[in-house]
């Protein structure tokens, strides 16, 4: 603790022994706590925005068999390409292993960034069946560069399965 003698009008009060005490210890504690919180927040932001490289053997194919081989699934951006930060639509094509289109599927959409451990910034949904086993998925947005995953849970009378697609921006 530091004691400061503060003269008011003159040294009269100081000579009477009136002392203003400033607890610098408390101030230093608050300053140190604020510094630690700031460093933790800055480190978290850098970890979120610093993208690590995806695995070298990452499967970036846009057509594949579903996880249990119930369906053949492909996905493409409806406009042919997509950009970071923009909403876009995709077309998901679902077929049986013999190539027959799946016309009556119920599809849930999910995804996110595996390296950052967070989901998509939007909630994409299948909005239309557009024929020949094709389904329009709207509301997809990738808000930063890096490795993204789109996951489709597909259910139909042919069975239930999941297809996962990796994308990099």
Q: What is the pLDDT of residue 54?
A: 75
Strand pairing partners for 8? Answer: 10
Question: pLDDT class for 17, splitting at 50, 70, 90?
Answer: low
Helix (H) or strand (E) holding 127: strand 125-131
Q: What is the rounded (10 degree) CA torsion for 119, 145, 59, 76?
A: 80
40 pLDDT exceeds 70? no
Tokens of 67: 């996880």
Give the pairing type, strands 106-113 and 88-95. unpaired
| H helix intervals, 73-118 | none
Least confident of 2-6, 76-80, 141-145: 2-6
| Residue with the larger pLDDT of the pair 103 and 43 | 103
Q: Whole-number mean pLDDT of the chain? A: 83
Question: pLDDT class for 78, splitting at 50, 70, 90?
Answer: very high
Question: pLDDT class for 57, splitting at 50, 70, 90?
Answer: confident
| Residue with the larger pLDDT of the pair 57 and 75 | 75
Cα(75)–Cα(55) distance, rounded to whole angstroms? 21
The b-or-e profile of 37-75 (16+ CB within 10 A means b, else e) is eeeeeeeeeeeeeeeeebeeeeeeeeebebeeebbbbbb
pLDDT in tens, 116-157: 999 999 999 999 999 999 999 999 999 999 999 999 999 999
pTM for this predicted structure: 0.69
Q: What is the pLDDT of residue 34?
A: 62
Q: What is the pLDDT of residue 55?
A: 83
| Residue with the larger pLDDT of the pair 50 and 144 | 144
66 pLDDT exceeds 70? yes
């Amino acid at each position: 603790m530091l004691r400061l003698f503060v003269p008011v009008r003159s040294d009269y009060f100081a000579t009477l022994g009136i002392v203003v005490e400033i607890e610098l210890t408390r101030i230093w504690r608050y300053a140190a706590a604020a510094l630690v919180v700031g460093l933790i927040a800055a480190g978290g932001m850098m970890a979120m925005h610093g993208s690590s490289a995806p695995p070298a053997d990452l499967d970036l194919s846009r057509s594949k068999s579903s996880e249990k081989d119930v369906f053949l699934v492909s996905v493409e951006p409806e406009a042919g390409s997509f950009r970071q930060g923009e909403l876009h639509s995709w077309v998901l094509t679902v077929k049986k292993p013999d190539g027959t289109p799946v016309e009556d599927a119920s599809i849930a959409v999910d995804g996110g960034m595996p390296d950052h451990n967070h989901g998509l910034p939007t909630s994409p949904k299948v909005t239309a069946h557009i024929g020949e086993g094709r389904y329009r998925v709207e509301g997809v947005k990738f808000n930063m560069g890096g490795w993204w995953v789109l996951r489709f849970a597909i259910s139909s009378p042919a069975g239930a399965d999941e297809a996962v697609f990796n994308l990099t921006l």
